[in-house]
Amino acid sequence: MINSMTGYGEAKGEINGVTYTVEIKSVNNRYLKTNIKIPDPLMFLEEDIDKLLRNNLSRGTITCIVQLKNISADMPFDIDETALQAVMEKLNRIGASTNIKCEIDIGSLLALPGILSPTLPDEEKAEKIKKSALSITQNAIDQLKQMRAAEGAALAADLDNHCQAIKADLKQIRTRSAVVLQEYQKKLKKRVDELLADAKLKLDEETLTREVAVFAERSDISEEIARLDSHLQQFTEISRTDSQSGRRLDFISQEMLREANTIASKASDAEVVRYVVDIKCRIDRIKEQVQNIE
């Protein structure tokens, strides 16, 4: 079953008294693009998180946000206490000189550049943090994939409805194309007979047959119908069996539109053209939906 490229996943876990929250969002993209936002103390995990994302996902713009809460003394970073004290004293002086009551939030001050500086944990602690953080990230990825699968199922149902409708229109075109040739022969004979009536001449049946044969060859759409029907079957099969088929389905939908355009250009019947217009509208809808598939 196909997967959508849009989704959201979130997971939380605690490591050494610190709460880790991992959020992963994904939107459409022709390729796989990862954007990882991670606190400075955990920058040593960025490459491993990126690898984990790429091992689980194949397309889309993926934004992974790692946040820390309830930070303990065990967290691998240093606080520049001198810089922090200088900032607090300056804020107090400004408050006193302007008679503005100022409540200082230490947590906000820690977000200022240069106040916090990451330090690399020892090898044992780093390995423990890495193992737990990647486990939390995997849980978030699993939630993301579940949402993508659910949206993919809805996409698959919509695409299948369009394919079935196109097949029904193709069946009508196939039936109608067999009648068009007979109608053309009758109209041509009637028109020529009317033009030759005054001259009391009779149309040569061989000439009529030759003219009808030329028309039949020029307006024959049987091959295009067969190819479009084959594309529909292939499209349906892939969408039901391949979860990462976005690029293949996009290519097939382009080929479907190509065959529909050829049928429209060769058809010499208003009713056939009407069916083709409906088919092209549905193929355009399919092409739009395919852009959401992983």
2 falls within a domain? no
* Residue labelled with tokens 């790429």: 54
Phi and psi at residue 230, to the nearest 5°: -65, -40
Structural domains counted in the chain? 3
Q: Is the pLDDT higher at 286 or at 223?
A: 286
Q: Of 55, 65, 270, whose CA–CA distance to 173 is shortest?
A: 270
Q: Are residues 41 and 158 in the same domain?
A: no
- What band does 263 get if pLDDT is binned at 50, 70 and 90? confident
How far is residue 49 from each of residues 64, 65, 77, 246, measured CA to CA in Å? 9, 11, 20, 24
Are 229 and 247 members of one domain?
Answer: yes
> What's the CATH code of the domain at 26?
3.30.230
Nearest one of 156, 147, 152, 154 to 237, comparing CA atoms: 156
Do residues 146 and 156 share a domain? no
Question: What would the pLDDT profile of 153-180 be if each residue is shown by its tens digit?
Answer: 999 999 999 999 999 998 888 888 776 6
Which domain does 28 fall in, by range?
7-76+111-150
pTM beyond 0.75: the answer is no
Question: Which has more confidence, 20 or 269?
Answer: 20
Same domain? For 66 and 115 the reply is: yes
Confidence (pLDDT) at 151: 92
Write out pLDDT tens, residues 114-132.
Answer: 676 666 667 888 888 899 9
**What per-residue confidence (pLDDT) applies to 187?**
62
The reply to whether 1 falls in a domain is no
Are residue 179 and residue 190 in the same domain, yes or no? Answer: yes
CA distance 27 to 59: 9
126 and 62 both lie in a single domain: yes
Tokens for 130, please give them. 């890495």
Tokens 């998180």 -> residue: 49
Judgement on whether residues 193 and 209 belong to the same structural domain of the protein: yes
pLDDT tens, 40-52? 778 889 999 999 9
Q: What is the pLDDT of residues 179-217, one digit of tens each?
A: 665 555 556 555 555 555 555 555 556 655 565 555 555
**Looking at the structure, do residues 46 and 94 belong to the same domain, yes or no?**
no
E strand or H helix that includes residue 285: helix 270-290
